[in-house]
């Protein structure tokens, strides 16, 4: 019987993007696909690219001798930006100097601060350029977890917005040139903007062309993974990016092992929901088995797609009763105590949300007099799925002592822009009521669009700091974005603080032109909140980062990056949860899994000997307050009891 062929393995597309919730096996799927395509068509050239800030291609390949017709690149987005700035920095300076009343010093400070966030944009254009070159038959992209991937898909719109800001700065100069010379000749600045706009259009056209491009979501047969995949599919549809195939990874076999049976029961329910859902019917669903060995190196990658099957009916679980599969944790840690800020961080898909929710429920139960705020900064939120109740951008009461919030960072930034735009228009109108200073007004309005990307998320966190200051909440538990995104977010407060000082400095320096009291007050509030946030992150008595990882080689490498970043930024990281460990079993598959996990566990203990490490076993999906409360009670002992010390 022939192995079924998914469309992404046929080698018909110029661009293949693998994406989804972190930890679902995107990298394995992308690398295995690139290898298969290169081996199938040895006369053609292929390119494998990673856009994840926390790259793992090298870890996945693990020394494999790749085919000579396959090039591998872990894209350095900052290097792309640096090259762009070297080539075009003088043009950006000229645009700003023509369009505003700012002096040279102000212009340089603005461009220095706004450009760092554009690295992702330039990386996207780099991929588009490679595709347009025709040098590669197929470019396979291993994208970052969902939230980061959504930013990648939004790049054309973001870059158009940035170009609009630059174009607004040039409008007055063009108009004056036309009046004085009676000609509208294009100069090199106009050509630069037109070429950049053309590149953006080329990127958008490529992403939306079903004959050339395909996005392949990868997921696990878990409730939260399905929920995030549905969200991702909706956003992909909005961006008009084609999707045909979806991969469901790590499916348990049907046997009499209680651990496998427990996993298969959970997965059968999810696969059944997939196959019965009308909104998911347009896609072709493919299943990949759970392999005993980690998928890396020649053996794992070259055989990865051999187990591919088309999902047409839900897996059949065994009918015999499933005996208990043991406790949730093998070790415990002392309860967090009186910390003001707890951050849960790690590679995507390792269970940060579950452990953050379980910890929040435990804290609320232990100290009913304290108010706990559980919040998410991941652009692809999943608190609601884990808690089993709706959660949104407004505080939602979950139970006694616990409130949850999913931060809408974009809305916070839009509110600032609207406040700035409205107050600027009112001021200019009061200054010259009978004159519409259209060029100056639009140019000054668009200055906010030259802010560093990431400002929106930091703004949202400053709002949360306001809640702490009001003594309404005593502790924050933060379900953070995956590692690469979090490291960037931790680094952003300093950059944003500098941008705020530059922006606010304009109000002081040009106080005869800028009289915007409401905006000034908001910027002052943000600046104060940022100082408090930075001080809290550096204070081990107030803040602790709880790392979450799984027992794989790739997760081990990413955990090292995370804890190194914490040390670099002086963020206290006393606890590491080794999550989703395989419980003891006589099953050959489970024994193999547990054996390879024990090797990684030893590596973690040797690498981080002073960090308290807690092994948390895989046991169904702990969703809803009852199961989360049970998990929270299993994770921690009270300070008076014996447990792993992390003080």
What is the pLDDT of the chain when averaged over all its residues? 79
pLDDT of residue 449: 63
* pLDDT (0 to 100) of residue 97: 59
For residues 69 and 45, the answer to whether their CB atoms sit within 8 Å is yes
CB 586 within 8 A of CB 633: no
Low-confidence ranges of the chain (pLDDT < 50): 1-2, 101, 113-117, 180, 321, 432, 434-439, 640-642, 645-647
Tokens encoding 498: 């500098």
Of 624, 625, 617, give the one whose Cα is nearest residue 324. 617
The whole-angstrom separation of Cα 171 and Cα 183 is 14
Half-sphere exposure of 268 (CA within 13 A, CB side): 13
Contacts of 32 (CB under 8 A, 6+ apart): 295, 301, 302, 304, 305
Q: Are strands 309-310 and 284-289 parallel, antiparallel or unpaired?
A: antiparallel
Across the strands, what pairs with 576?
Answer: 547, 613
Q: What is the pLDDT of residue 178?
A: 57
Handedness of CA 502, 504, 505, 509 (dihedral sign): positive
> How many other C-beta atoms can be found within 10 angstroms of the C-beta atom of residue 438?
13
Predicted confidence (pLDDT) per residue in 575-619, tens digit: 999 999 998 888 999 999 999 999 999 999 999 999 999 999 988
Whole-structure pTM value: 0.72
> Domain 7-81+119-232 falls in which CATH fold?
Rossmann fold (3.40.50)
Alpha-carbon distance values, 509 to 100, 105, 504, 506 (Å)? 14, 12, 9, 5
Helix/strand/coil for 573: coil
* pLDDT of the residue at 79: 75
What is the residue extent of each domain of the chain? Answer: 7-81+119-232
Of 613, 610, 616, which Cα lies nearest the Cα of 567? 610
Q: What is the pLDDT of residue 336?
A: 85
Tokens representing residue 314 in the block? 């839900």
């Amino acid at each position: 019987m022939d192995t079924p062929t998914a469309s992404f393995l046929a080698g018909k597309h110029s661009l293949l993007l693998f994406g989804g919730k972190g930890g679902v096996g995107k990298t394995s799927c992308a690398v295995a696909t690139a290898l298969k395509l290169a081996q199938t068509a040895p006369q053609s050239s292929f390119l494998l690219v990673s856009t994840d800030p926390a790259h793992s291609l090298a870890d996945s390949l693990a020394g494999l001798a790749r085919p000579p017709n396959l090039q591998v690149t872990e894209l350095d987005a900052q290097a792309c930006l640096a090259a762009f700035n070297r080539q075009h920095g003088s043009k950006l300076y000229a645009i700003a100097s023509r369009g505003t009343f700012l002096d040279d010093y102000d212009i340089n400070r603005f461009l220095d601060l706004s450009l760092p966030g554009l690295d992702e944009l330039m990386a996207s254009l780099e991929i588009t350029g490679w595709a347009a070159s025709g040098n590669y038959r197929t470019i396979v992209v291993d994208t970052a977890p969902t939230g980061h991937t959504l930013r990648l898909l939004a790049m054309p719109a973001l870059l158009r917005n940035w170009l609009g800001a630059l174009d607004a700065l040039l409008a007055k100069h063009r108009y004056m040139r036309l009046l004085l010379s009676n000609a509208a000749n294009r100069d090199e600045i106009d050509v630069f903007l037109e070429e950049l706009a053309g590149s953006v259009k080329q990127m958008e056209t490529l992403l939306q062309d079903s004959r050339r491009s395909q996005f392949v979501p990868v997921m696990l047969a878990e409730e939260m993974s399905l929920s995030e995949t549905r969200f991702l599919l909706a956003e992909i549809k909005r961006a008009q990016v084609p999707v045909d195939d979806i991969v469901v990874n790590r499916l348990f076999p049907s046997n009499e092992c209680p651990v496998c049976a427990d996993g298969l029961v959970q997965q059968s329910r999810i696969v059944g929901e997939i196959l019965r859902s009308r909104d998911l019917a347009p896609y072709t669903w493919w299943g990949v088995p759970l392999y005993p060995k980690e998928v890396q190196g020649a053996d794992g990658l070259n055989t990865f797609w051999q187990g591919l099957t088309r999902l047409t009916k839900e897996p059949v679980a065994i009918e015999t009763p499933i005996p208990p599969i043991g406790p949730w944790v093998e070790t415990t840690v002392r309860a967090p105590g009186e910390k003001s800020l707890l951050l849960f961080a790690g590679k995507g898909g390792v269970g940060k949300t579950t452990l953050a929710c379980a910890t929040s429920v435990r804290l609320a139960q232990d100290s009913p007099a304290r108010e706990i705020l559980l919040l998410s900064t991941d652009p692809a939120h999943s608190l609601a799925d884990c808690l089993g109740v709706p959660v949104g951008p407004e505080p939602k009461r979950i139970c006694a002592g616990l409130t949850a919030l999913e931060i809408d960072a974009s809305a916070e930034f839009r509110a600032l822009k609207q406040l700035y735009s409205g107050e600027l228009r009112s001021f200019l109108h009061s200054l010259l009521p009978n004159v519409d200073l259209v060029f100056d007004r639009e140019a000054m309005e668009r200055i906010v669009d030259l802010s560093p990307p990431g400002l929106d998320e930091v703004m949202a966190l400053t709002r949360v700091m306001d809640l702490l200051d009001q003594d309404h909440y005593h502790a924050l538990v933060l379900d953070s974005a995956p590692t690469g995104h979090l490291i960037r977010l931790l680094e952003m407060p300093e950059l944003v603080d500098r941008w705020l000082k530059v922006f606010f400095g304009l109000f002081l320096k040009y106080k005869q032109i800028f009289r915007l009291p409401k905006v000034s007050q908001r910027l002052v509030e943000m600046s104060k909140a940022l100082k408090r946030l930075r001080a809290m992150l550096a204070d081990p008595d107030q803040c602790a980062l709880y790392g979450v990882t799984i027992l794989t080689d790739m997760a081990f490498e990413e955990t090292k990056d995370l804890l190194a970043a914490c040390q670099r930024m002086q963020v206290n990281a006393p606890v590491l949860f080794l999550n989703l460990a395989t419980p003891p079993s006589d099953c050959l598959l489970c024994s193999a899994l547990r054996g390879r996990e024990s090797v990684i566990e030893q590596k973690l203990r040797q690498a981080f000997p002073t960090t308290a490490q807690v092994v948390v076993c895989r046991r169904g999906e702990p969703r809803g307050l009852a199961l989360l409360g049970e998990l929270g009670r299993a994770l921690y002992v009270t300070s008076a009891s014996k447990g792993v010390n992390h003080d």
